[in-house]
């Protein structure tokens, strides 16, 4: 059974069809890339999965459970985390504090015990802090852990966005253009990390424009154009697919 299954999912904004009758099956443990020219509906698909937008029709099933109409925070609690295309961060907090908020779900000392600052609450808090620091180190942000998020360079900010999603301990990680604006070194590091994330058992869906990254890290690729799926398969198949090249003509190099 696939980990995530979208069946005949469609999204209309008035008369504009952003996503048309999409069928998508993502297996547990794979890295799936979602590609397509701008406006193809990729971020919309992410928003539909996380519940930020309700689909006009169709169903979304995650881990055997229908999550189609659930609210974003419930979907997050079910184990789906995402990073955003725009850099969404708590700008007035340090990098570490940003990640700690991600742990909000994982660390439950019980609201009353937390309120009274009992010793057990403090212990849970310390554990969270340690785990948050682990994630920060994994994402290469150790030096910047106590910097205000607003002061971080762009590449670090995007890495921080991914860190926060990781802090939620997700089963499925949706990464929306994680390497945009990164230099080649940072990009290569991110690719390595995505591999390691997959290695730890997390399923990843990646929206990316950087084709080298996509070809490098994906197990399978799904191609969207104007809201419809036009191709799906292994990286090698997609690379030579005429429809895909057509859709991207004048926009990207494969």
Partner 1 sequence: MSKVRIAGGSVLALLLAFMPLLVNNYVLQIFLLTITYAILGLSFALTLKVGLPRFDVAAWWGVGAYTTAMLMLKTGMSFWLATLIGGAISVLLGWLVFSVAIPRGMMVFLLFGMVLVLAFQQLFGTIPFFGGWGGTEVTPQPTIGSFTFANKTELYYMGLFFLGVTVVVYRLLYNSKIGRAWNAVGSSVKLASSLGINVVRYRLANVLIGNFFIAIAGSYLVAYTLVAVPDTFSFANSVYVMMYVVVGGLTHVLVGPLIGAVVITFIPEYLRVAKQFEPIITAVAIILIIILLPYGFLGFYDRRVKPWFVRKGWQGTRPDRQSEKTAATLLEIGRD
Contacts with partner 1, residue ranges (CB under 8 A)? 50, 52, 71-74, 76-77, 81-82, 84, 88-93, 100-102, 104-105, 107, 109, 111, 114-117, 148, 164-165, 167-168
CB of 121 to partner 1, least distance (A): 8
In this complex, which beta carbon is closest to partner 1, that of residue 168 or of residue 217?
Answer: 168
CB of 229 to partner 1, least distance (A): 25
CB of 97 to partner 1, least distance (A): 8
Helix or strand or coil: residue 173?
strand
In this complex, which beta carbon is closest to partner 1, that of residue 104 or of residue 251?
Answer: 104
In this complex, which beta carbon is closest to partner 1, that of residue 56 or of residue 118?
Answer: 118
In this complex, which beta carbon is closest to partner 1, that of residue 155 or of residue 161?
Answer: 161
CB of 55 to partner 1, least distance (A): 18
d(CA 205, CA 82): 9
In this complex, which beta carbon is closest to partner 1, that of residue 150 or of residue 234?
Answer: 150
In this complex, which beta carbon is closest to partner 1, that of residue 102 or of residue 178?
Answer: 102
Q: What angle do CA 18, 237, 221 make, to 5 degrees?
A: 40
Q: Of all helices (H) and strands (E), which one includes residue 236? A: helix 235-239
In this complex, which beta carbon is closest to partner 1, that of residue 109 or of residue 247?
Answer: 109
d(CA 38, CA 226): 9
Q: How far is CA 46 from CA 94, 96, 173, 199, in A?
A: 27, 26, 10, 22
Give per-residue burial for 70-92: e unless 16+ CB within 10 Å, then b.
beeeebbebbbbbbbbebebbee
- Helix-strand-coil split of the chain, %, nearest 5: 40, 25, 35
CB 53 within 8 A of CB 19: no
Strand partners, 224: 229
CB of 140 to partner 1, least distance (A): 21
Residue 137 corresponds to which tokens in the numbers above?
A: 């180190």
CB of 110 to partner 1, least distance (A): 9
d(CA 56, CA 10): 6
CB of 232 to partner 1, least distance (A): 27
């Amino acid at each position: 059974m696939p980990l995530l299954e979208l069946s005949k999912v469609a999204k209309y904004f008035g008369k504009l069809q952003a996503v048309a009758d999409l069928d998508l099956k993502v297996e547990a443990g794979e890295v799936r890339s979602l590609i397509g020219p701008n406006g193809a509906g990729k971020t919309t698909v992410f928003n539909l999965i996380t519940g930020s937008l309700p689909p006009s029709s169709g169903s979304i099933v995650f881990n055997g459970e229908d999550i189609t109409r659930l609210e974003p925070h419930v979907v997050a609690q079910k184990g789906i985390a995402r990073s955003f295309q725009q850099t969404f961060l708590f700008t007035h907090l340090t990098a570490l504090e940003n990640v700690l908020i991600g742990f909000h779900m994982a660390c439950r000392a019980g609201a009353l015990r937390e309120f009274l600052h009992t010793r057990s609450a403090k212990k849970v808090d310390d554990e969270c802090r340690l785990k948050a620091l682990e994630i920060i180190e994994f994402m290469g942000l150790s030096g910047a852990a106590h910097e205000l998020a607003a002061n971080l360079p762009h590449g670090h900010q995007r890495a921080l966005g991914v860190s926060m999603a990781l802090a939620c301990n997700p089963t499925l990680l949706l990464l929306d253009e994680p390497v945009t604006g990164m230099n080649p070194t940072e990009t290569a590091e991110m690719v390595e990390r995505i591999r390691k994330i997959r290695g730890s058992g997390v399923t990843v869906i990646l929206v990316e424009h950087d084709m080298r990254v996509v070809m490098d890290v994906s197990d399978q690729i799904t191609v969207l154009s104007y809201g419809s799926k036009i191709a799906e398969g292994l990286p090698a198949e997609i690379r030579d697919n005429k429809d895909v090249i057509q859709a991207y003509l004048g926009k990207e190099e494969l």
